[in-house]
Structure 1
Amino acid sequence: MTIDDKKTFNLFCDESSHLPYDGMRYMLIGYVQVGSNDVKRYKAELRHIRSTHRKKGETKWSKVSESAFPLYEELLKFFFDSSMCFRAVIIDKSQIDETRPGFTHDDFYFRMYYQLLHHKMNLSYIYNVYCDIKDTRSHRKLARLKEMLHWNAAIKNFQFMRSHESSFMQLTDLIIGAINYALRGRGNVEAKNRLVDIIETMCNGPINHSTPKSEDKFNLFFIDLK
């Protein structure tokens, strides 16, 4: 293991309820951070978990069910037992006043990405940022992110990745989905409620408010415009 390997991290970014008129109150953008020296080993362990549960296809929050609960429980516990970290920024979209200059939905979308990526980076390390392809606007979004953060020498690479290609991207989707579900007041899907309980137990508290900035394992930042 080289020194460079120890100081290089891959950020697998995903987003939820990011569209302006999707009927959802909160927009969330987050990532799972994986040390480059751990990628190969963790990928193999995640593959082993899936094969143990005979899972084919993607592991996503939208696919959580009672029969699949043991798989998703094991995935979450593996995350919390590993050196992987999670960070998300959340905004209540009802607070966005698009009549104000610089306060459009798109403005906040990119501000959230800036908050997500910049404020927890160690500028002496190297980061590779992978973004999930969501829609036809994805390439324009990536170009603007590169422009916003071009001065940040710690970011070595921006790249798109389809979620079905990455177990880590799917893990980000799972955790973001759980947070969004909790923020909506949960629901009647018992398997999802139990997964939220697992996360809150591992975090020693509810996931509906910001964590201390110093929190590294599971970091949440709620942007308050009031």
Structure 2
Amino acid sequence: MPIDKITLYNVYCDESCHLENDGQPIMVLGAIWCPKDDARRLGAELRDIKARHRARGELKWSKTSESRLPFYLEIIDWFLAESPLHFRGLVVLNKQALNHAAFNQGDHDLFYYKMQFSLLNKILSPDSQYAIYLDIKDTRSRLKLKRLREVLCNNVYDFTSDMIGHIQNIHSHEAELMQVADYLTGALAYRHRNLQGNPAKVAVLEHLERKWGCSLSFSTPLREQKINIFLFSPRQV
């Protein structure tokens, strides 16, 4: 009897405004994922787009400018057109209202990893296997990765941790698709910070929402696969 082939996926995670005392009212976590078999091709396509536009260095939301606007609009069109690529974003609203002690959620660092769990557990399926790459946060991240893997696997009764074949921290320059996670996470944060000061960023956001057909300002149904958004509001004491 033939054994069904397990689909392997790569997941790339990034964050914006995640520090506790950065003065920002929100925290945003984002993840790009695709079948592992497509990752190399998609990375090569992104490098080709960069080369055509003579865009050197990493793709970063912070670098969005009017002089490079056609490049960034093409990135959005490419992402939306590539059916293997998916994005999920989680936005913590009113971050200043978080009360970790009142709700037994440890400190802000532990809360960050709980939110990573909430981001990822809606992506993962026990019928598939995943390699998860997180943008390096600090020197202590390695130990926390082990715990995150255990919690994600135990949530689907995968006590041998087979579902997550690999999990590690990397720098964004090491993976082209990590840079796409950075870009879309940054865009989501810009929308929820209600910023308008950069006309190029506003144009990219409007282009994305128009082509996608939805707004980044609201949660999407879980069945939404291309871009899935979840807004988290702190509970009141």
Using structure 1 for the length normalisation, give the TM-score. 0.92
SS at match of 1:123: coil
**In the alignment, does 2:23 pair up with 1:26?**
no
CA distance in 2, matches of 1:98, 1:223: 14
Gaps of 5+ in 1: none
**In the alignment, does 2:186 pair up with 1:177?**
yes
| Amino acid in the other structure paired with 2:164 | I
| Amino acid in the other structure paired with 2:202 | N
Q: How big is the shift at 1:37?
A: 1.4
Q: How big is the shift at 1:61?
A: 0.5
Gaps of 5+ in 2: none
Closer, same or farther in 2 for the Cα pair 1:103/1:209, shift >3 Å? farther
Q: Percent identity?
A: 36
Q: CA RMSD in A?
A: 1.6
SS at match of 2:196: coil
1:125-136 aligned at under 5 Å gives the runs 125-136=128-139
Q: How big is the shift at 1:145?
A: 1.5
| Amino acid in the other structure paired with 2:205 | V
Moved more, 169-178 or 92-101: 92-101
The C-alpha deviation readout for 1:113-171, integer Å capped at 9, x for no partner, is 11111123221011110111132232233233234235343211102221011110111
Choose from 98, 101, 110 the match for 1:99.
101
| Amino acid in the other structure paired with 1:108 | F
Runs of 4+ in 1 over 6 A off after TM superposition: none
SS at match of 2:67: coil
Q: Is the 8 A contact 2:89 2:188 kept in 1?
A: no
Q: How big is the shift at 1:25?
A: 1.0
Choose from 189, 194, 198 the match for 1:189.
198
Count of equivalent residues: 223
- 2:116: which partner in 1? 113
SS at match of 1:32: strand
| Amino acid in the other structure paired with 2:209 | E
**In the alignment, does 2:201 pair up with 1:199?**
no
